[in-house]
Chains A and B, each alone.
Chain A
Amino acid sequence: SQKIEQNSEALNIQEGKTATLTCNYTNYSPAYLQWYRQDPGRGPVFLLLIRENEKEKRKERLKVTFDTTLKQSLFHITASQPADSATYLCALDITGFQKLVFGTGTRLLVSP
Chain B
Amino acid sequence: NAGVTQTPKFQVLKTGQSMTLQCAQDMNHNSMYWYRQDPGMGLRLIYYSASEGTTDKGEVPNGYNVSRLNKREFSLRLESAAPSQTSVYFCASSDTSGSTDTQYFGPGTRLTVL
Could you tell me which residues of chain A, from 83 to 102, have a CB within 8 Å of some CB in chain B?
A: 89, 91, 93, 97-102
Q: With A99-B45, A102-B42 given, is the CB distance from A93 to B101 under 8 Å? A: yes
B: which residues have CB within 8 A of A? 4, 31, 35, 40-45, 48, 50, 58-59, 90, 92, 94, 96, 101-108
Q: Are B43 and A102 in contact (CB under 8 A)?
A: yes
Q: Are A98 and B42 in contact (CB under 8 A)?
A: no
A: which residues have CB within 8 A of B? 4, 8, 32, 34, 41-46, 49, 89, 91, 93, 97-105
Q: With A49-B101, A89-B42, A102-B42 given, is the CB distance from A43 to B107 under 8 Å? A: yes
Q: Are B102 and A49 in contact (CB under 8 A)?
A: yes
Q: Are A99 and B94 in contact (CB under 8 A)?
A: no
CB within 8 A of B42: which of A43, A49, A104? A104
Q: Are B45 and A100 in contact (CB under 8 A)?
A: yes
Give the distance to chain B from A53, nearest Cβ to Cβ, in Å: 14
Residue among A8, A44, A89, A101 with most chain B CB within 10 A: A44
Residue of A with least CB distance to B96:
A98
CB within 8 A of A97: which of B43, B50, B102? B50
Q: Are B101 and A43 in contact (CB under 8 A)?
A: no
